[in-house]
Chains A and B, each alone.
Chain A
Amino acid sequence: MPATKTIKISEEMKTKLDEIKIHPRETYDDIIRRLVNFYEKYREKIKMLNSSEVSSTNVVSR
């Protein structure tokens, strides 16, 4: 079983990931790992934010 997996992301998303690099040689794996850690630390707040965004999107789409 390979230790790595490939994910398909948009060029725009790749640029956004580049923008939050701490140093130029930081890998995308490191960046996404950092985002995962960030999520684990602020899980509840992000959940709330996500649910409010989803509900506001629903209101707009109606």
Chain B
Amino acid sequence: MPKGKYTNLSIRREVREELDKIREELKINDLNDLLILLVKTYREHTNIISKLDEITNTISREITNAISKVISSVSDTHTNTVSKEHTNTVSKSDEPKPRVFCKSKSEIKNIERYVKWLKENNKLIDWWDEETKYCFEVKE
């Protein structure tokens, strides 16, 4: 035992006996040396445990954040899909209804140009000749 200040501690007999057994097992003569070893390894162990706890907490937080992001992104995708479906439904109902009108042949000087004009304006659905008139099915 190294020189220096010493103090007496009271411990239960069975604890002292346990210490002596360990001392014999490890072939350590001095009780102080045994306690130094035990305290050192105990502290190293608890440090590792606390570091592992920190790592576990960090990983846990990161996993929770990642899950939240995935849930949020899935939820956004679902909302967008529903919204698009809704928009499609609305647009379908709002689509212009076809209208049929007829014009006497005398009114139209050049049927080909007239049809072309309707097509260019994206209005023409169909057209046909009815003896004295031309009829057109167009979008409103």
**B interface, over-half SS:** helix
Interface residues of A: mostly helix, strand, loop or mixed? Answer: helix
- The count of chain B contact residues (Cβ–Cβ below 8 Å) is 32
**0/1 per residue, A1-32, Cβ < 8 Å to B?**
11111111111111011011000000011001
How large, as a class, is the contact surface on chain A?
35 or more
Give the residues from 1 to 25 in chain B that come closer than 8 angstroms, CB to CB, to chain A: 1-2, 4-13, 15-16, 18-19, 22, 25
Q: Give the shortest distance, in Å, between A40 (CB) and chain B (any CB).
A: 8
Contact residues, B29-87 vs A (CB, 8 A): 31-32, 35-39, 41-43, 45-46
Whole-angstrom CA separation of A47 from B25 in the bound complex: 8
Evaluate contact between A4 and B7: CB separation under 8 angstroms. no
Taking Cβ atoms with an 8 Å cutoff, the residues of A that contact B are 1-14, 16-17, 19-20, 28-29, 32-36, 38-39, 42-43, 45-47, 49-50, 53
